[in-house]
């Protein structure tokens, strides 16, 4: 009968309260209303163990209280550019020793989040004036090469520009078609912070637009120019920045540039002023709402759809 079930439930509750009081006396369970360092799960386990030892069935607990979430000082690989910048800003404001914490906390993030890119172009079209992609190199935060391939332009090559590009006819024998290379490269760049020098040229060669808040162009950052003792408004080459700040010589000789070396140098320069740069970006870049371009579920093949191109560019091309 309902009355019998009520009495049974009441007796069961009395036994439960008696065991709880016993556990509290033995220090195995914190008193209700003033939980200490012990989590609810610990007390629940202890209560279950005591109940099983007595040979009775413990009351069923459908909902187990969740422990308080502890926010780690490190950033997750899915962190947004805005949170990255704010994180650096907070660490920088903490005073001495903050740079070490920045490096330590960011190691969790960078291997899959930061890349540097450099492209080499050849001349196609009338008199070879049209620049098309012929080689692309991508390195990770540590400077390790994760992509380096020669690319066959869509139009016939008129000028190899070997003195600057380092590209020769021999390199084109094993080159992959532009569309195939473009798909591979955009897959790597998707949702990444991309570092480069005069990086708009590389994106133009890839026929691609990368979000501004995920782009770090070493030719535009004032911190690097000030540190090198160069005019802030001057156009400074990657070669000069490397000589002044990294004390190394690049782009020497008559065999042209190495896109791998240039990408690695751009990443080195970024890392040199990373904290200051990210702090400035934290104040200058407004939060960017999610868009189809950076949506992790978006297919990279959609990047070149008309709907993602700037309106003014579409109008000028008509």
Residue 70's pLDDT is 35
In this structure, are residues 131 and 205 in contact, taking their beta carbons and an 8 Å threshold?
A: yes
Give kind and range of the element (H or E) at residue 267. Answer: helix 259-272
141: alpha, beta or left, given left = phi > 0 and alpha = psi -120 to 50?
alpha
- Rounded Cα distance between 28 and 222, Å, is 60
Pairing, β 114-124 against β 193-196: parallel
How many Å apart are CA 318 and CA 305, to the nearest integer?
A: 16
The token pair that represents 274 in the structure block: 């990373």
**How far out from the chain centre does Cα 190 lie?**
10
pLDDT block averages, 10 residues each, the chain of length 318: 59 81 73 49 46 46 42 47 54 47 43 88 93 96 95 95 91 95 96 95 95 93 87 88 90 80 95 90 69 48 48 49
| Residue 305 Ramachandran class (φ > 0 left, ψ -120 to 50 alpha, else beta) | beta
The pLDDT of residue 23: 77
Evaluate whether 119 touches 257 at the Cβ level (below 8 Å): no
Could you tell me which residues come within 8 angstroms of residue 216 by beta carbon, excluding any fewer than 6 positions away?
193, 194, 195, 196, 270, 277
114-284 is classed CATH 3.30.420.10 = yes
pLDDT at 249: 87
For residue 38, the model assigns a pLDDT of 46
pLDDT of residue 281: 84
128 and 158 in contact (C-beta within 8 Å)? yes
What integer pLDDT is reported at residue 315 of this predicted model?
52
Record the pTM. 0.59
- Domain locations in the chain as residue ranges: 114-284
- Let me know: does 238 contact 265? Beta carbons within 8 Å: yes
Please report the DSSP string for 118-144 in residue order. EEEEEEESGGG-EEEEEEEEEEETT--
Q: What is the pLDDT of residue 185?
A: 97
């Amino acid at each position: 009968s309902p009355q019998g079930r009520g009495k049974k439930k009441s007796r069961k509750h009395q036994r439960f309260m008696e065991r709880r009081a016993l556990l509290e006396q033995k220090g195995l369970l914190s008193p209700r209303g003033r939980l200490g360092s012990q989590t609810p799960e610990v007390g629940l386990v202890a209560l279950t163990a005591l109940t099983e030892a007595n040979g009775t069935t413990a009351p069923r607990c459908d909902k187990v209280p969740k422990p308080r979430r502890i926010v780690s000082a490190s950033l997750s690989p899915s962190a947004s550019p805005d949170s990255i910048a704010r994180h650096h800003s907070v660490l920088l404001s903490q005073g001495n020793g903050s740079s070490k914490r920045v490096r330590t906390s960011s190691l969790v993030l960078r291997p899959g989040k930061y890349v540097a890119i450099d492209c080499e172009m050849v001349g196609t079209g009338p008199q070879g004036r049209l620049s098309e992609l012929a080689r692309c190199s991508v390195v990770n935060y540590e400077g390790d090469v994760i992509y380096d391939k020669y690319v066959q332009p869509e139009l016939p090559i008129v000028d190899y520009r070997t003195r600057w590009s380092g590209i020769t006819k021999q390199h084109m024998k094993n080159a992959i078609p532009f569309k195939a290379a473009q798909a591979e490269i955009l897959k790597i760049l998707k949702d990444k912070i991309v570092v480069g020098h005069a990086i708009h040229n590389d994106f133009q060669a890839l026929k691609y637009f990368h979000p501004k808040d995920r782009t770090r162009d070493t030719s535009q950052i004032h911190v690097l120019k000030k540190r090198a003792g160069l005019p802030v408004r001057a156009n400074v080459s990657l070669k000069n920045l490397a000589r002044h700040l990294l004390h190394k010589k690049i782009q020497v000789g008559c065999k042209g540039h190495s896109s791998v070396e240039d990408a690695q140098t751009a990443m080195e320069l970024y890392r040199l002023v990373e904290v200051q740069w990210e702090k400035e970006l934290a104040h200058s870049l407004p939060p960017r709402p999610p868009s189809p371009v950076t949506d992790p579920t978006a297919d990279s093949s959609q990047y070149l759809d008309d709907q993602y191109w700037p309106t003014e560019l579409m109008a000028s091309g008509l």
